[in-house]
């Protein structure tokens, strides 16, 4: 499950699954919440909240600090997770 995101009244997908698949496809890239949000046409605060609640708290993801940026990465459990 997960929050459905809507645009102009049309459901465009469940956030957790969209972010999960995007991070799996881009596992070799360093991506911030803002970069993920732009790619998925969402707001970065939505990505931050979703990542914390659906990934970090469940051991499926981590935030990797690098200077002033924090990259969102899936753990091995996150990479193998199937919703």
pTM attached to this predicted model: 0.79
- The 3-state DSSP class for residue 12 equals strand
Burial per residue of 47-82, b for 16 or more beta-carbon CB atoms within 10 angstroms, e otherwise: bbebbeebbeeeebbbbeeeeeebbbbbeeebeebe
The 10s digit of each residue's pLDDT in 31-50 is: 999 999 999 988 888 899 88
| Residues in the chain where the model's pLDDT stays below 70 | 1-14
Instruction: Name 73's bridge partners.
Output: 62
């Amino acid at each position: 499950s997960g929050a459905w995101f809507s645009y102009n009244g049309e459901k465009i997908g469940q956030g957790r699954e969209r972010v999960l698949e995007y991070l799996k496809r881009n596992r070799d890239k360093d991506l911030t919440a803002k970069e993920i949000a732009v790619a998925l046409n969402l707001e970065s605060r939505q990505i931050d909240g979703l990542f914390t609640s659906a990934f970090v708290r469940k051991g499926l993801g981590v935030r990797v600090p690098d200077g002033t940026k924090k990259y969102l990465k899936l753990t091995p459990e996150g990479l193998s997770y199937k919703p």
